[in-house]
Amino acid sequence: MDLKQQSQTLAPFPNKVAKITIAIDGYSSCGKSTLAKTLAHSLGYQYIDTGAMYRCVTLYVIDNKMIYHGELDVKALVNHLDDIDISFRKPEGAIDADAFLNGVNVEEKIRGMNISNHVSLVSAVKEVRLRMVALQQKMGHACGVIMEGRDIGTVVLPNAELKIFMTASLEVRVRRRFNEIKSKGQEVSLEEVKENVLSRDYKDTHREESPLLQANDAVVLDNSNLSHQEQLDFALKLVEEHS
């Protein structure tokens, strides 16, 4: 039974517990999205994947040929930001909301290696981050929201009642990402995935705009050796303590 299925078998979280805003940050491929989605299912919260938003912008950039030999045409991107509309919708019969770019479902497209190899380049652009942060803050205004990314607890939702910073060993993260990509029928080597993870770690922690940082009041969750259920139980206990 996977994490999503486990969440559907859980008893409803006590109604007496007040809804809060939850920020989940962490390194790439450390299970942020999986935990955030399952926690949202368990609590009846809204889940917002901020990483998908940057991936949508990256897809737009690639489709419109704004990257030349590894270099991003920042001016062209900034000039076209108003042409980029990002939203999340649940397809009929689906459990999770998919990412839509200018009205088109791009959930599968934005998860490929080509997007992963360029998203850090796009997300480092100041104007892009300002636009995405403004959208994210608007989405996170209400309580009962779980938002995950890399700068949620430090920049987007600094006043979130609960902040979780997730991490895992490099070996574990590489293997998780490799299995995820292979499960979608995409061909990739373990070494390619490792290079991508290391590259994203460096870019995420060294970029000038909103680098990946652990918020001072965040609870660290190293899930290198934790099962999905153990992670979920840990998070649910934190929610109860902070509600």
Tokens of 181: 């990509």
Q: What whole-number percentage of the chain has pLDDT above 70?
A: 93
Over residues 34-93, the pLDDT tens digits come to 999 999 999 999 899 999 999 999 999 999 999 999 899 999 999 999 999 999 888 787
* Average pLDDT, integer, range 125-151: 91
| Residue 76 structure tokens | 């062209």
Confidence of residue 1 (pLDDT cuts 50, 70, 90): very low
pLDDT of residue 142: 75
Confidence band of 119 (pLDDT split at 50, 70, 90)? very high
Query: In the 8-state DSSP scheme, what is residue 191?
Result: H
Tokens encoding 139 = 């989405």
Domain ranges, ordered by start, for the chain = 18-242
Is the model's pLDDT at 130 over the cut of 90?
A: yes
We find that the CATH architecture of domain 18-242 is 3-Layer(aba) Sandwich (3.40)
Strands (E), the chain: 21-26, 46-49, 67-68, 71-72, 86-89, 98-101, 104-105, 145-149, 162-167, 219-222
pLDDT band, very low/low/confident/very high, at 9 (cuts 50, 70, 90): very low
Enumerate residues 6+ apart whose C-beta is below 8 A from 20: 143, 144, 160, 161, 162, 239, 242, 243
Q: What is the mean pLDDT of residues 169-185?
A: 92
User: Strands 104-105, 21-26: parallel, antiparallel or unpaired by DSSP?
Assistant: unpaired
Residue 101's pLDDT band (cuts 50, 70, 90): very high
- Structure letter (DSSP) for residue 82: G
Nearest to 153 by CA among 217, 204, 206: 217
pLDDT of residue 97: 85
pLDDT attached to residue 17:
62
